[in-house]
A and B are shown apart, each in its own frame.
Chain A
Amino acid sequence: MAMTRQNAAPISGGDPDPVTEAVDLICGRYGDRPDALIEMFHDLQDGLGHVPETALKPIAKRLNLSRAEVHGVLSFYHDFHTKPVGRVVVKVCRAEACQSMGALPLIAQICDRLGVGLGSTSAGGSVTVEPVYCLGNCALAPAATVGGVLHGRVDAERVAALVTEMTGEAG
């Protein structure tokens, strides 16, 4: 626990892993400036495909921030993935307006059709489905993005078709 660990953070020997290496490179690029945290996340995601949880401690240490602060910023932005994601990412809104237009059953149907659980990635790594809270498209609820493109008034069929189009595979 922190109270003892902070007093004597044990140092593990050996070579740094690729995540720590990426963190060092990227944080160094921005001079360890805490105000560049979001850019660092973008660069990490560009390089590694996602921002792994294991990157947060070394980032916090270099930027002299607490772990909670780094985690708080990362979790605030829907654009960052903390786990490897599929080639296509589907984000379905489940905030008030969309819920009133049946977003919850819709999410279940989409997951069903694509054969993937909410918040996870399909076995072949082709598609990830994630919930979001308001895409600012309330007038055209229910709303979703597929591969970063916003669509309104969606249904499961249409989402599945868009995914197939982008992956070239059947969901």
Chain B
Amino acid sequence: MALIDDVDFGTPARPSAATVTLLIDGAPVTVPEGTSIMRAAQEVSRPIPKLCATDKLEPFGSCRMCLVEIEGVRGTPASCTTPVREGMNVTTQNARLERIRKGVMELYISDHPLDCLTCAANGDCELQDTAGEVGLREVRYGMDGANHFDAQVKDPIDVSNPYFQFEPSKCIACSRCVRACDEVQGTLALTLEGRGFASKISAGLEMDDFFSSECVSCGACVQACPTATLMEKSVVDHGVPTRSVETTCAYCGVGCSFKAELKGSEVVRMVPSKSGGANEGHSCVKGRFAWGYASHKDRITTPMVRESATDPWRKASWDEAIDFIATRFKDIQARHGKGAIGGITSSRCTNEEVYVVQKMIRAAFGNNNVDTCARVCHSPTGYGLKTTFGTSAGTQNFKSVEQADVILLIGANPTDGHPVFASRMKRRLRRGAKIIVVDPRRIDLVRTPHIEAAHHVPLRPGTNVAVMNAFAHTIVTEGLVDEAFVAQRCDMVEFERWRSFVSEPENAPEALAEKVGVDAETLRAAARTFAAAPNGAIYYGLGVTEHSQGSTMVMCMANLAMATGNIGREGVGVNPLRGQNNVQGSCDMGSFPHELPGYRHISDADTRALFEGDWGVHLHDQPGLRIPNMLDAAMDGSFRGIFVQGEDIAQSDPNTKHVQAALAAMDCVVVQDLFLNETAAHAHVFLPGTSFLEKDGTFTNAERRINRVRPVMAEKSGLSEWETVCRVARAMGYPMHYDHPSQIMDEIARLTPSFAGVSFARLDRDGSLQWPVNDAHPDGAPIMHVDGFVRGKGRFMITRYVPTEERSNRHFPLILTTGRILSQYNVGQQTRRTANSLWHPEDVLEIHPHDAEERGIVDGDPVSINSRVGATTLHARISDRMAPGVVYTTFHHPLSGANVITTEFSDWATNCPEYKVTAVQVNKSNLPSDWQAHREEFVAEHYRVTEPAE
């Protein structure tokens, strides 16, 4: 469907250095070679009527609406499929063309219900617009021939998808939906079934509807449809939107740009922006459709306080709540010392909101006890990449994957976790690139229509480093190192040390095969494929970082990229696929206890002096506590107050029971969030947060792209999150004041060299910027380390494989690993409150048929999962996606309590928890675990709110 204020050029841009000049209706125009006449005409504002063409899709040439005349050419070629040629003289409008187009339009309209005035797409329909454009006023054929809309022959409307509907009687068989699903999304869920008059759009098989089909509800077909056939239900219900605000999705690290389309102040739909650097007009089910949680009835919009976490909540004014916090925090500090309080920043909040929280902690609390939930996902990325390359971030932009020849995908499942990037990746793979998948599970990218991995390395969870060492051994000992690159770009002393380390026989694939659970030949073959690639790109996710050797593994990948010369240009690199929308940003903003914004160590006197001068305070020169240390300190009584910004540590952090006990031991737990989350059950103060539709600020995605988040509605709580934090800081005695969030970004830019050139004004002008933005990179840096590593010479690190202490044994013979799925996000606080739950009503335990049979488990059975720290109950799903001995679950629902069973083991360097490996036993059971039974009572008790007496 047409977007508000968006020009559709009809066919995709054809980037080319060579240009062609031609005449369109007498006006000269110069365009890149390969451009269609249709696009060239639009460039000079001579739009040509079209139905089957749209600039997100390759031209198709089926509707014959876009005919033009070309001097010296017979007939009337279709302008969408005809490329420009030098000196062409094209006529787009004259009496003859008008007659032909009108005739074609008449045929379409004669088989289309004429209910424009009552149609949901009225005013937003390309068929209607085009009919107007070609001047159609009457239909000569009459409407009583064979058609598709009479009540007797009309196919019913398919409303099976919760977010959009399919009304076949309005279909003009232009195939745009089919092509969008194929070319843009890469799922191929749709087809034009039959042929001729009988042809119609079908979602899969005869028996399928949209919901039962292979459709993943990305919305690309709905966007591509020129009529009301495929239509958002929200538009059917509320009418066509009238204005739009450009903003950024708050769901994952892809950071897609969207237009929030509104009617009055109500959001009617979210449509991905073609100008979005990360997504270029594509979206996934979460960002496109699952935004209804923002106005869910469960949202808390007034502050609440209570003396003790077992009391019912009492609604309070902002002043009262902020006073309460300041009084308690100051009291704790007076009695237990400055370091007895701290805070956690959120990867879901804006850079500005995160920045003020860490500033409040460092300047108003007077300590460095600030940490972030990135601790539980990507802290090893920061550490590993900083050590080897010199920056704590991925090296490429997403677009770079379009130049990759071999993609090495490790511990990430992009089709579920980063769907819009996955579509890009699939497009590249279908054009011939190869993929190597290193993952215990047979994820979709191992084999999905038209894509088949060159190698799948189904390693045993916890053996990542062994696999990488086997790869490195193969590459070094078989002479596959890019010696020239290494000599020019890397520290040779470190390299030689590394070379001899990986050459040791203990790192040979043959020596490691048994530990890894994959035969040596597969390991060698995969390594050779990667080394042979002209452009080899590494993408990885939480399957890499959430391990006891997470940081080591990140360095392994950096070593591999350097050894094969795959750094510093398009199509290569080492790229984390970040989980939450602003993980990158929250890390950049100084959320770690040892680092000020821009990853500068707190012990560095010059950096400290810079901030001290600007902030007017003295900064403590020692790193503060990390989350696990805060929790441990809470248990021994030395840490007693915490400010938790938009996070649910009681659900997302490992070993839930330990977290709950620690929270219960504190005197003041402050939670700032949208909903009463699991952590809030232990809180004394609840500060209502803002959804992304109310925020004004920036998010930074996994490619370091800083995107604007713009408010489309006023804060439901009446106060922005950054202002709330400033007020707390002021109540604690530190003057912190901004008139507008842009001033926070100005301060960040002033104090952080890699953000020097960033401002709201600049972002509003340029759309987005990829840091660093400074004198060396005035327009940002889509690709890093182009002329040399940020740290100077690339540094090879020794990466010895140390098996995790978490091992399966007689009592806990299976290994549990965790992940996520497409329709849900993180702990599910938002997505569970949308229709996305239809696709994932509960977390299930995937178990191999062999392991299931041994235990007498059949599909759908309730099973109990026990680790040495806890137990929980889920339903079993028999699946052969994992190797025998490995079971898998997601952690989107609180009642599943997947983290009740995960252990306290963590990455040696960064304490990132080892979510991906837990030894468990699984048994048939039909009772909820003790923990689950207890939770029900607990929830009832801790979520009570007293209504004020009238």
Assess the A64–B450 pair: CB atoms within 8 A: yes
Inter-chain CA distance A134–B844, complex, in Å, is: 51
Q: Which residues of A contact B197 (CB under 8 A)?
A: 95, 133
Known interface pairs A2-B215, A3-B822, A13-B849; A66-B878 also in contact (CB < 8 Å): no
Assess the A72–B202 pair: CB atoms within 8 A: yes
**Stretch of A4-12, A37-45, A147-155 that contacts chain B:** A4-12
Known interface pairs A72-B202, A76-B194; A4-B189 also in contact (CB < 8 Å): no
Q: Which residues of A contact B881 (CB under 8 A)?
A: 7-9
Q: Which residues of A contact B216 (CB under 8 A)?
A: 2-3
**Stretch of B205-213, B589-597, B606-614 that contacts chain A:** B205-213
B204 at the binding interface (Cβ < 8 Å): yes
* Count of chain B residues near A, Cβ 8 A: 53
Question: Which of A46-63 touch B at CB < 8 Å?
Answer: 53, 56-57, 60
Least CB separation from B214: chain A residue:
A2
B146 at the binding interface (Cβ < 8 Å): yes
Question: Which of B179-194 touch A at CB < 8 Å?
Answer: 181, 187-194
User: Which of A13, A68, A69, A72 neighbours the largest number of chain B CB atoms within 10 Å of its CB?
Assistant: A68
Question: Which of B132-150 touch A at CB < 8 Å?
Answer: 146
Least CB separation from B882: chain A residue:
A8
B156 at the binding interface (Cβ < 8 Å): no
Known interface pairs A67-B204, A69-B449; A133-B198 also in contact (CB < 8 Å): yes
Inter-chain CA distance A10–B876, complex, in Å, is: 10
Assess the B214–A133 pair: CB atoms within 8 A: no
Question: Which of A100-148 touch B at CB < 8 Å?
Answer: 131, 133-134
Q: How far in angstroms is the closest Cβ of chain A from B284?
A: 10
Known interface pairs A64-B449, A67-B204, A68-B188; A75-B846 also in contact (CB < 8 Å): no
Q: How far in angstroms is the closest Cβ of chain A from B420?
A: 15
B74 at the binding interface (Cβ < 8 Å): no
Inter-chain CA distance A151–B94, complex, in Å, is: 46
Assess the A66–B214 pair: CB atoms within 8 A: yes
Assess the B205–A53 pair: CB atoms within 8 A: yes
Assess the A1–B838 pair: CB atoms within 8 A: yes
Assess the A57–B449 pair: CB atoms within 8 A: no
A99 at the binding interface (Cβ < 8 Å): yes
Inter-chain CA distance A76–B202, complex, in Å, is: 12
Assess the A71–B447 pair: CB atoms within 8 A: no
Least CB separation from A65: chain B residue:
B449
Inter-chain CA distance A68–B217, complex, in Å, is: 15
Assess the B449–A11 pair: CB atoms within 8 A: no
Instruction: Encode contact with B along A1-40: 1 for CB under 8 Å, 0 otherwise.
Output: 1111011111111000000000000000000000000000
Q: Which residues of B contact A164 (CB under 8 A)?
A: none
Question: Which of B151-197 touch A at CB < 8 Å?
Answer: 178, 181, 187-197
Assess the B839–A4 pair: CB atoms within 8 A: yes
What is the interface residue range for chain A against chain B?
A: 20 to 34
Q: Which residues of B contact A99 (CB under 8 A)?
A: 146
B475 at the binding interface (Cβ < 8 Å): no
B535 at the binding interface (Cβ < 8 Å): no
User: Which of A2, A12, A53 neighbours the largest number of chain B CB atoms within 10 Å of its CB?
Assistant: A2
Q: Which residues of A contact B194 (CB under 8 A)?
A: 75-76
Q: How far in angstroms is the closest Cβ of chain B from A132?
A: 9
Q: Which residues of A contact B449 (CB under 8 A)?
A: 60, 64-66, 69
Assess the A8–B877 pair: CB atoms within 8 A: yes
Least CB separation from B821: chain A residue:
A7
Q: Which residues of B contact A71 (CB under 8 A)?
A: 191, 193, 202, 204-206
Assess the B452–A67 pair: CB atoms within 8 A: no
Least CB separation from B853: chain A residue:
A13
Known interface pairs A2-B215, A66-B449; A72-B193 also in contact (CB < 8 Å): yes
Assess the B840–A68 pair: CB atoms within 8 A: no
Known interface pairs A4-B840, A67-B213; A76-B204 also in contact (CB < 8 Å): no
Assess the A67–B880 pair: CB atoms within 8 A: no
User: Which of A1, A56, A75 neighbours the largest number of chain B CB atoms within 10 Å of its CB?
Assistant: A1
Q: How far in angstroms is the closest Cβ of chain A from B180?
A: 13
Q: Which residues of B contact A3 (CB under 8 A)?
A: 216-217, 285, 821-823, 839-840
Q: How far in angstroms is the closest Cβ of chain A from B588?
A: 32
B444 at the binding interface (Cβ < 8 Å): yes
Q: Which residues of A contact B839 (CB under 8 A)?
A: 1, 3-4
Q: How far in angstroms is the closest Cβ of chain B from A19?
A: 14
Assess the B187–A66 pair: CB atoms within 8 A: yes
User: Which of A9, A75, A133 neighbours the largest number of chain B CB atoms within 10 Å of its CB?
Assistant: A75
Q: Which residues of B contact A13 (CB under 8 A)?
A: 849
B266 at the binding interface (Cβ < 8 Å): no
Inter-chain CA distance A65–B846, complex, in Å, is: 25
Assess the A67–B878 pair: CB atoms within 8 A: no
Instruction: Encode contact with B along A67-111: 1 for CB under 8 Å, 0 otherwise.
Output: 111011001100000100000000000110001000000000000
Q: How far in angstroms is the closest Cβ of chain A from B379?
A: 27
B494 at the binding interface (Cβ < 8 Å): no
B203 at the binding interface (Cβ < 8 Å): yes
Assess the B188–A69 pair: CB atoms within 8 A: yes
B859 at the binding interface (Cβ < 8 Å): yes
Known interface pairs A64-B447, A68-B203; A4-B821 also in contact (CB < 8 Å): yes
Inter-chain CA distance A64–B444, complex, in Å, is: 12
B879 at the binding interface (Cβ < 8 Å): yes
Assess the A95–B196 pair: CB atoms within 8 A: yes
B124 at the binding interface (Cβ < 8 Å): no
Inter-chain CA distance A66–B285, complex, in Å, is: 20
Least CB separation from B203: chain A residue:
A68
Least CB separation from A74: chain B residue:
B193
Least CB separation from A61: chain B residue:
B447
Q: Which residues of A contact B823 (CB under 8 A)?
A: 3-4
Least CB separation from B285: chain A residue:
A3
Instruction: Encode contact with A along B414-436: 1 for CB under 8 Å, 0 otherwise.
Output: 00100000000000000000000
Assess the B205–A11 pair: CB atoms within 8 A: no
Least CB separation from A56: chain B residue:
B205
Assess the B196–A133 pair: CB atoms within 8 A: yes
Assess the A6–B447 pair: CB atoms within 8 A: no
Inter-chain CA distance A29–B846, complex, in Å, is: 33
Known interface pairs A65-B449, A71-B204; A10-B196 also in contact (CB < 8 Å): no
Inter-chain CA distance A133–B214, complex, in Å, is: 29
Assess the A76–B444 pair: CB atoms within 8 A: no
Assess the A8–B196 pair: CB atoms within 8 A: no
Q: How far in angstroms is the closest Cβ of chain A from B612?
A: 51
Inter-chain CA distance A6–B879, complex, in Å, is: 10
Q: Which of B213, B444, B878 contacts A68 (CB 8 A)?
A: B213
Given contacts A4-B823, A68-B204, 6 further A-B contacts (CB under 8 A): A3-B839, A10-B878, A64-B452, A66-B214, A68-B178, A133-B195
What are 13 A-B pairs at a CB distance below 8 A? A1-B839, A2-B212, A11-B880, A12-B859, A13-B849, A57-B205, A68-B202, A68-B204, A71-B202, A75-B193, A76-B194, A82-B206, A134-B196
